[in-house]
Amino acid sequence: PRNPDRFVELAESICYQQLAGRAAAAIWGRVVTLFPGGITPESVAAMPDERLRAAGLSGAKLASIKDLAAKVLDGTVPLDRIARLTDAAVIERLSVVRGIGNWTAEMFLIFTLRRLDVWPVDDYGVRAGWALIKTRTEPPRPRDLEPEGDPFRPYRTVVAWYCWRAVHLSRGQP
């Protein structure tokens, strides 16, 4: 089960970026133990950088998580009311945080806010799954995949889930 706290979800997403799942899980596990009272923007802002680095966070990930905490605390990223914003506004707000781009914001929309009309064309799994479903040899480029989602509005997230599932099944994964 995933943590329902939006700040924790985003911090964890930053930790996992561009790392193998097991390595990221190990680092994140060490980060979590630094916060016996829970991971909050306040506790992250107060945590000495050296302790977070010792837990395994790279300098870039540390800077990103600290920036997220600062921007939540100053109201730039209004996590308490972000669910009321449009998808585009959520992406715009989250993208001002160092280390959060379109992909992370779209995953937040899908998995945390449970939005049903997100079409994450930059996600390789979605592109690879689309190629499998359409029996193509190569995944489409993001710009080519973008219009392919239009017929599925307002449920493009569901199509993305099918794409991810197609990749898992092609690998013999349950």
Q: Is 123 a catalytic residue?
A: yes
Rounded Cα distance, 140 and 125, in Å: 11
Long-range CB contact pairs, 62-68, < 8 A, 24+: 63/98, 63/99, 64/14, 64/97, 64/98, 64/99, 64/100, 65/11, 65/14, 65/15, 65/99, 67/97, 67/98, 67/99, 68/7, 68/10, 68/11, 68/14, 68/41, 68/44, 68/97, 68/98, 68/99, 68/100
- Cβ atoms of 64 and 100 within 8 Å: the answer is yes
Rounded Cα distance, 161 and 159, in Å: 5
Please pick, among 74, 122, 123, 144, the residue that the annotation labels catalytic: 123
Catalytic residue numbers, as ranges: 123
